[in-house]
Amino acid sequence: MTTPIRIALVTGATRGIGLETVRQLAASGVRTLLAGRDLGRASAAASALEAEGLPVEAIALDVTDEASIAEAVRTVQSRHGRLDILVNNAGILADDPALKPSQQTLQAWRTTFDTNLFGLVAVTNAFLPLLHASDSARIVNVSSVLGSISEHLNPKSFIYDFKIPAYNVSKTAVNAWTVQLAHELKGSRIKVNTIHPGYVRTDMNRSGDQQNGELEVADGARTSVRLALVGDDGPNGGFFYMDDELPW
């Protein structure tokens, strides 16, 4: 009896770490849905990977739009009847780095939380029935070490002086949400974890013409992929970077 191919969905996947996460999951044999707000861009990215022989398909999904989320769930239900892996990768950074924490606009906070937290929660909740239909499902929430409260309080930490509050606190909230959901799902066939991708050279880490970062995009996707493919003896409710567990 052959084992059914696993089905994954990656949000915010038309470029950067999300796109590379799709590539690596598909290369491991997982049929991967490349989700993006713009179906045209998602289709173009998926077609490029399909041309490499990878099992990828495009899907429209705006994590800040309830109707878009509901339509994506219906699409996955009709195409596959279940979801084995959900990688919540979509995220934005709206802080002005030139401003102090107390000077950031309330709109920057709202915009950040709409995508980084509320969108993530909405997508997860909407797909939970399809994840429960899987024999062994995984949820990976892409967070950041910048969400670690203990590291922000540690003068020896490299993030101690890196205060972009709306983004940082949104990732702290993602970590807290992961713990809450992991508690609900303990004893189920679903595992949920949160990850730090590393300081990756992506557009989010660009300052003008300079692209900052220490890691290539391929390295930035590895932790998400590792937790997406973890076995039934793997962790639930943890915060990871590569093979290391990070402090909350």
Catalytic choice (160, 167, 199, 241): 167
What integer pLDDT is reported at residue 1 of this predicted model? 46
Residues 6+ apart with CB under 8 A from 111: 92, 94, 166
Distance, in Å, from the CA atom of 26 to the CA atom of 29, rounded to the nearest integer, reads 5
* Token pair listed for 164: 């972009």
Query: 128: closest CA among 35, 9, 6?
Result: 9
pLDDT at residue number 77: 98
pTM: 0.94
> Which tokens is 14 given?
């038309």
Select from 170, 162, 167, 148 the least CA-distant residue to 239.
148
- Residue 4 has a pLDDT of 78
Q: Give the mean pLDDT per block of 10 residues along the chain (248 residues).
A: 83 96 98 98 98 98 98 98 98 96 98 98 98 98 97 96 97 98 97 92 49 74 97 97 95
Q: Among this protein's residues, is 167 annotated catalytic? A: yes
In order of start, what are the domains of the chain with their CATH numbers?
Answer: 7-93+113-144+168-245 (3.40.50.720)
Name 206's bridge partners.
211
